[in-house]
Chains A and B, each alone.
Chain A
Amino acid sequence: MRRSIPAVLVVVVGLLLLVDFVLVNPTVASLASGAQELIVLLAAAAALAGAATLVLRHWLDLSERRRDPLGSGVLLAGFAVMMVAGLYPGSAGASDPAVRWLVAALLAPLVAALFAMLFVFVLSTARTGVALRTRQAAVMLAAAAVVVVLLLPIGGSLGQSLAALAGWAFDVPIGGVFRGLLIGVATLTAVHAARILLTVDRADE
């Protein structure tokens, strides 16, 4: 009985959206649109609650000097600066020049710096994979090595042959593996959605 209300809600909303997908009906369309707007509102409320808990947790960490007080201080300072830039009297909100400058001058370079480390981590992880000698890692690294060789910037007839082979490799074996994965994922996504709609997801023990 504890699960009955959420289960009914899931089934009703799921069927409503399914019917709206199949039928063109103004009443159903307005109901489905209302449900989707409600989801956006719920997500916005959840985001606000999330931000509040984030600030509260780091405030407590900072005031009680536990875990990483320096990190908490930086987070709270960044949060405050961004809030002030977006909410000061006369601010244009998210499109305010101060907010845009903070995003372009601080946030974007930070994210870019983080993702720039991917190259180092890929090499480091590949080395670990070779050292551990797992079968999957070996197969994957061998395939990666073949692709690297095929994409070498070589001119002449050899380069043309390698380029043609690279195109074939992308279209046939690699494309086939990706299609297989996508077909499997799409099928099981549909099955998973049906399981949620039928509320057959229950505790396993």
Chain B
Amino acid sequence: MMPDIGSLLAGLLAFIGDQVAASSLRLGPLPTVAVLGIVLVLLSLIARPSTRWVARDLGRLAAVSRAMALAAESGGAAAFSLGSAGVARAASALDRLQTLAAIPVLSHAARAAARAGVPLRVTVNDPVAGHLADVALDAAHRSTETQERQERSTTEYIGEGRGVAAAIALAEAGAPAAAFVDGGLAEEAMLLLNGAQDGAAWTSFGTATASQAGSVLLEGDGTLIGPELYQAPSDLRAAGLERTGVLAANRIIVAAVVVIVLGSLLTVAGGTDLAAVLAGRR
């Protein structure tokens, strides 16, 4: 027999009540409020567009179209490596998120390559990242109505491991006209970037891995260092909504810097140890 709506609602409410009764806060009331508060602040800032954070050309990405036009004139190809962290590999979550952050950059380069008729070769060392890259290439050719050129652009899974990515980049001949490496990098960064830029007329490299900033700075013409890898996709977009993610971060960084400076001054003056208070040690 089918229950009536009242019984259904009563059952639903009873179920929710049971679940609430069976739950407890993992972090305690104050930390939970703090975590949710931070999420709310982030979301409210993201949903409130106003201005751009940076005016300069991050990673020389504004010049991608020109680089592709030059590549088309010279009959060259473009190469894009999504780093070595992948999406489903055994790397840290922060490294793998960099691969996702690099997808919009890949989309930007793929659209420019599709318009200019330049073959784009994307290399990945993770099949899931390869699928994402494939979708990005497909979307780029659809949006530019150049599906007839899609066969010339490829996504290539080169095998598992960070060393493999570096070895392939070093070993493969055929200097691309434009080379991109964006995503999570580790100790293989210098080898991978050196192999990617070898003979390339135009390069743009980026990683948010702090320890590899030096490799990117030394190897790339255009660079996305640290937070810039996350800024760049927002800056590429025409709409202001995504750009405000960057603005939100800017405000939070300013707040963090103020707290650090204030805390340092208080500590130097022999007053309260602000870090200890914030960390709950006092």
B214 to chain A, nearest CB (A): 6
Cβ contacts under 8 Å, A42 to chain B: 88, 128
Cβ contacts under 8 Å, B214 to chain A: 140, 144
B144 to chain A, nearest CB (A): 9
Q: Are B249 and A184 in contact (CB under 8 A)?
A: yes
For A8-47 the 0/1 string (1 means CB < 8 A from B) is: 0000000000100111111110000000000100110011
Number of A interface residues, CB 8 Å? 62
**Candidates A39, A140, A186, A201; contact of B218 at CB < 8 Å:** A140
Q: Please, how many angstroms separate the alpha-carbon atoms of A38 and B139 in the complex?
A: 27
Cβ contacts under 8 Å, A101 to chain B: none
**Partner-contacting stretch, out of A84-92, A149-157, A163-171, A191-199:** A191-199
Q: Are B252 and A187 in contact (CB under 8 A)?
A: yes
Cβ contacts under 8 Å, B26 to chain A: 21-24
Cβ contacts under 8 Å, A26 to chain B: 22
**Candidates B24, B213, B227; contact of A188 at CB < 8 Å:** B227
Known contacts: A185-B226, A203-B107. The answer to whether A192 contacts B246 by CB under 8 A is no
Q: Are B210 and A23 in contact (CB under 8 A)?
A: no
Cβ contacts under 8 Å, A136 to chain B: 217, 223
Asked if B32 is at the interface of the complex by the 8 Å CB criterion, the answer is yes
Known contacts: A22-B25, A193-B97. The answer to whether A185 contacts B88 by CB under 8 A is no
Q: Which residues of B contact A (CB under 8 A)?
A: 19, 22-27, 32, 35-36, 38-39, 42-43, 46, 88, 94, 97, 100-101, 104, 107-108, 111, 126-128, 130-131, 139, 143, 156-161, 163, 166-167, 171, 187-188, 190-191, 194, 208, 210, 213-215, 217-219, 223, 225-227, 230-231, 233, 236-239, 241-242, 245-246, 248-249, 252-253, 256
- What 14 additional pairs, Cβ within 8 angstroms, besides A25-B24, A47-B88? A22-B26, A26-B22, A28-B19, A47-B127, A117-B191, A118-B190, A118-B191, A144-B214, A181-B213, A188-B231, A188-B246, A191-B230, A191-B249, A203-B107
Q: Which residues of A contact B (CB under 8 A)?
A: 18, 21-28, 39, 42-43, 46-47, 49-50, 53-54, 57, 71, 75, 110-111, 114-115, 117-118, 121-122, 124-126, 128-129, 136-137, 140, 144, 178, 181-196, 198, 200-205
13 A–B contact pairs at CB < 8 A? A22-B36, A24-B23, A25-B22, A54-B159, A114-B167, A121-B191, A121-B194, A137-B218, A185-B210, A185-B226, A190-B42, A191-B230, A198-B46
